[in-house]
Amino acid sequence: VLFRLSEREHLFLTVTHHIISDGWSLSVFFKELEHLYHASATGCAPELPRLSAQYGDFAAWQQQKAQSDTFESDVRFWQEKLAAAPAAVDLPTDHPRPDRPGFRGAQFTLTFHEPFYESIIELNHDIGTTVFMLLMASLGIVLSRWSGQRDMVLGTVVACRTRREIENLIGCFMNFLPVRMTFTGLQTGVDLLQHIKANIIE
C-alpha cells in the first residue's frame, strides 16, 4: 500500500508472512524495488538478474540431502552435541509465568560508542574471534549468572543460503542453530570465548 501523506511525502507499506520471506529476502526485495522504481521514473527497461533456480529447486535439494548419508551423520552429530542438554534457561522472573504463553514482547536498544566498539574489534582481532562470538559469549555469561546454570543452549539464526543459485531468491531459507555453552566456573573470559568459537565453527 502506498500512502500519500502530502504532495512530496509518501509512506510505502509492505507486509509479507515469514513463511515466504526472511531478512536476506528483504534486502533482495528492496534492491529490486529500487531498481524497478528507478527504471519506471527514467523510462528505462528494467533489467533484473535472471534466476537460475527457484524455491522449488531448493526444496528438492533439501529432500535429496535428507535421503543421503550426510544427513544421517548430521543427525548423529546433533544427537551427541545436545545429549542431556537442559530444555530451557531457567531465568528468575519478576512475576509468575502465565498459564498460557503470550506473544507480547519488548525491545531494548543499546548503542556502543565508537571507542568501546573499537576495543571490541581489537580484542576479537587479538584472539581470533568475531563480534558475534563475543556477543554470544557475553549473553551466555549473563544468562548463566542470572539462572545459576552452567550448561545451556542458546539459539541463533543463519541465512542457510549455501548455494550461489539462491542468493537472489526471495523465500524463507533461514536455519535455526543451537549453540551449547558449558561454564566450569574456572574459565577465563578468553577461555570461554574460545570454547564458544569452537562450538559455533563446529
CB-based burial label for 187 (10 Å; 0-12, 13-18, 19+): middle
Alpha helices in the chain (DSSP H): 23-42, 55-66, 69-81, 114-127, 131-147, 189-201
Written as nine digits, the cell of 14 is 509492505
Q: Which of the four pLDDT bands, split at 50, 70 and 90, describes residue 3?
A: very high
Q: Which pLDDT belongs to residue 81? A: 94
Residue with cell string 508472512:
17
Give the rounded distance of the alpha carbon of 106 from its chain centre.
Answer: 18
How many Å from the N-terminal Cα to the C-terminal Cα in the chain?
44
pLDDT in tens, 164-188: 999 999 999 999 999 999 998 888 8
Report whether 197 contacts 177 (CB < 8 A): no
Q: How far apart are CA 78 and CA 40, in angstroms?
A: 50
Nearest to 17 by CA among 172, 183, 165: 172
Report whether 196 contacts 140 (CB < 8 A): yes
pLDDT in tens, 106-158: 899 989 899 999 999 999 999 999 999 999 999 999 999 999 999 999 999 99
Report whether 194 contacts 127 (CB < 8 A): yes
pLDDT in tens, 13-46: 999 999 999 999 999 999 999 999 999 999 999 9
Full-prediction pTM beyond 0.85?
no
- Burial 110-140, CB ≥16 within 10 A → b, else e: eeeeeeeeeeeeeebeeeebeeebbebbeeb
pLDDT in tens, 42-91: 999 999 989 999 999 999 999 999 999 889 999 999 999 999 999 999 88
Report whether 150 contacts 182 (CB < 8 A): yes
Q: Which pLDDT belongs to residue 148? A: 93
